């Protein structure tokens, strides 16, 4: 039991003696197919993990996720927020571990709405910044933070589009309750990126011109902007800078996808927009911790270390496709090469490199021409970095139009 606990993300930083104590508060549960592990809305002291078999998580709106034992996802606790946002049912005979983390000293609930956290403060690492990163690294590793939610009207619209009998009029009826998104869709339909022979002046016509699939991606993109807003001045400044970077990468990814005839342009746009979404809940920590807010190095170390996996967890929780979950997780893995053909993570990597080129203070980046992602994304055109920059220069107007649309 101690060895098993040590492999799970929330407890990976704990000492062996603490794991022994935790083992005494843990038990294995055997579930038959369709056996219920916990109900939607439950509040309890347990962390649950899938060890064998599979567990289906069912949200209130009917969305489902299946967590299989032995996968990376299974190292995280099921349904991290309290009260629980899912009903957990065994999809097949399953073995699950549950751990009582109440009243264990350093294992304490972070707050009424977040998952339990394990605090581990290092006393032998020099420097206040290292102590901060050690403390928050443990918190982030196990989900002790508030997860943002997507605007409900946008999610209602996406669910309407995903129905087999999707109809533009039904979608327009939902979006009428969100005038900003409606206005942005109409503007998009009349933009040089999507325009037809005549101007459209209502949501129904805009959706017809764009097509349901493109409308879906644009609605998600417009809704994302709300997650990058904040009242706190320090937080607002960080999120605005992150949003500017994300919209630039998204615009480049969309235009490159069109110019290179590689992947779906609007899907590439969303992948670019979401590639740093895992940074958002980390930046929100500065509102609660003045010491962390004052230490940019410690904060950026946390972002660099955790944004990929945290972003992937957020997108999986929001039921985004695996292709975009992978893009969020691996967008900074410059040398990734999982398959012969390109995917959206590859496109985001190339878009990021293009975004940084020519800047006065670019980060330390690898040579673009050596990256597998660049080779795969440009395979149809056989471009080198200089020529690909020329392609983007020719498309500068379309990139600016896309950025303008996304920025609102």
CATH superfamily name and code, 152-407 = Hypothetical protein af1432 (1.10.3210.10)
CATH number of 2-141: 2.60.120.10
Average pLDDT over residues 145-168: 77
Question: Do 152-407 and 2-141 have the same topology in CATH?
Answer: no
Look at residue 105 and give its three-state secondary structure. coil
Average pLDDT value over all residues in the chain: 81
**DSSP track, 78-90:** SS-SSS-SEEEEE
Of 4-13, 68-77, 360-369, the range with the lowest mean pLDDT is 360-369
Whole-number Å distance between alpha carbons of 140 and 135: 9
Q: Pull the structure tokens for residue 230.
A: 């904040």
Predicted confidence at residue 97, as pLDDT, reads 95
CA–CA–CA angle 369, 371, 372 (5° rounding) = 120
- Residue 62 confidence (pLDDT) above 90: no
The model's confidence at residue 28, banded by pLDDT at 50, 70 and 90, is: very high
What residues does each domain of the chain span? 2-141, 152-407
For 291-338, write each residue's pLDDT tens digit: 878 888 888 888 888 889 888 888 887 878 889 999 999 998 999 998
CA-based Rg of the chain, rounded to a whole angstrom? 23
Predicted confidence at residue 113, as pLDDT, reads 31
Predicted confidence at residue 105, as pLDDT, reads 41
Whole-number Å distance between alpha carbons of 294 and 306: 19
Predicted confidence at residue 350, as pLDDT, reads 92
Of 146-150, 152-156, 221-225, the range with the lowest mean pLDDT is 146-150
Average pLDDT over residues 272-285: 90
Average pLDDT over residues 24-45: 91
The model's confidence at residue 168, banded by pLDDT at 50, 70 and 90, is: confident
Q: Pull the structure tokens for residue 185.
A: 């869709």
Predicted confidence at residue 107, as pLDDT, reads 42
Average pLDDT over residues 40-53: 89
The pair phi, psi for residue 275, each rounded to 5°, is -65, -25
Whole-number Å distance between alpha carbons of 104 and 108: 7
Whole-number Å distance between alpha carbons of 271 and 265: 10
392: which strand partners?
none
Of 44-53, 71-80, 184-193, 264-273, the range with the lowest mean pLDDT is 71-80
Q: Where are the alpha helices (DSSP H) in 341-395?
A: 344-356, 372-377, 385-394
Residue 132: CB partners within 8 Å, gap ≥ 6?
A: 289, 291, 292, 295, 298
Q: In what order do the strands lie in the sheet with 54-59?
A: 36-38, 86-90, 54-59, 64-68
Whole-number Å distance between alpha carbons of 181 and 36: 39
Residues in the chain: 408
The model's pTM is: 0.65
């Amino acid at each position: 039991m101690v060895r098993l606990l040590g492999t799970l993300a929330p407890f990976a930083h704990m000492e062996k003696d603490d794991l022994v104590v935790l083992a005494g508060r843990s038990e294995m549960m055997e579930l038959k197919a369709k056996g219920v592990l916990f109900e939607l809305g439950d509040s309890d002291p347990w962390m649950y993990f899938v060890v064998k078999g599979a567990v289906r998580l069912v949200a209130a709106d009917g969305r489902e996720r299946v967590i299989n034992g032995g996968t990376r996802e299974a190292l995280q606790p099921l349904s991290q927020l309290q009260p629980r946002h899912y009903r957990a049912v065994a999809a097949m005979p399953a073995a699950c571990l549950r751990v009582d983390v109440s009243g264990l000293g350093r294992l304490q609930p972070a707050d009424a709405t977040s998952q339990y956290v394990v605090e581990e403060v290092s006393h032998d690492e020099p420097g206040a910044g290292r102590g901060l990163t050690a403390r928050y690294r443990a918190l982030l590793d196990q989900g002790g933070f508030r997860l943002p939610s997507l605007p409900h009207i946008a999610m209602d619209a996406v669910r309407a589009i995903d129905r087999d009998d999707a109809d533009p009029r039904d979608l327009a009826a939902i979006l009428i309750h969100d005038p900003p998104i409606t206005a942005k869709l109409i503007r998009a339909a009349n933009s040089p990126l999507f325009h037809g022979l005549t101007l459209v002046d209502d949501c129904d016509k805009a959706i017809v011109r764009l097509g349901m699939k493109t409308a879906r991606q644009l609605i998600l993109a417009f809704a994302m902007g709300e997650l990058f807003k904040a009242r706190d001045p320090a937080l607002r400044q960080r999120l605005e800078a992150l949003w500017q970077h994300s919209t630039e990468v998204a615009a480049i990814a969309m235009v490159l996808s069109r110019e290179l005839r590689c992947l779906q342009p609007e899907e590439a746009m969303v992948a670019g927009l979401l590639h740093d979404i895992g940074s958002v809940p980390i930046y929100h920590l500065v509102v609660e911790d003045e010491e962390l807010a004052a230490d940019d190095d410690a904060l950026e170390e946390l972002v660099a270390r955790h944004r990929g996996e945290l972003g992937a967890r957020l997108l999986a929780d929001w039921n985004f496709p695996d292709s975009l979950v992978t893009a969020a997780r691996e967008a900074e893995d410059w040398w990734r090469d999982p398959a012969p053909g390109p995917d959206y993570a590859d496109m985001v990597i190339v878009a990021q490199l293009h975004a940084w080129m020519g800047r006065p203070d670019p980060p330390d980046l690898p040579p673009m021409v050596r990256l597998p992602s660049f080779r795969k994304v440009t395979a149809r055109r056989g471009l080198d970095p200089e020529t690909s920059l020329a392609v983007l220069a020719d498309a500068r107007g379309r990139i600016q139009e896309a950025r303008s649309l996304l920025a609102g």
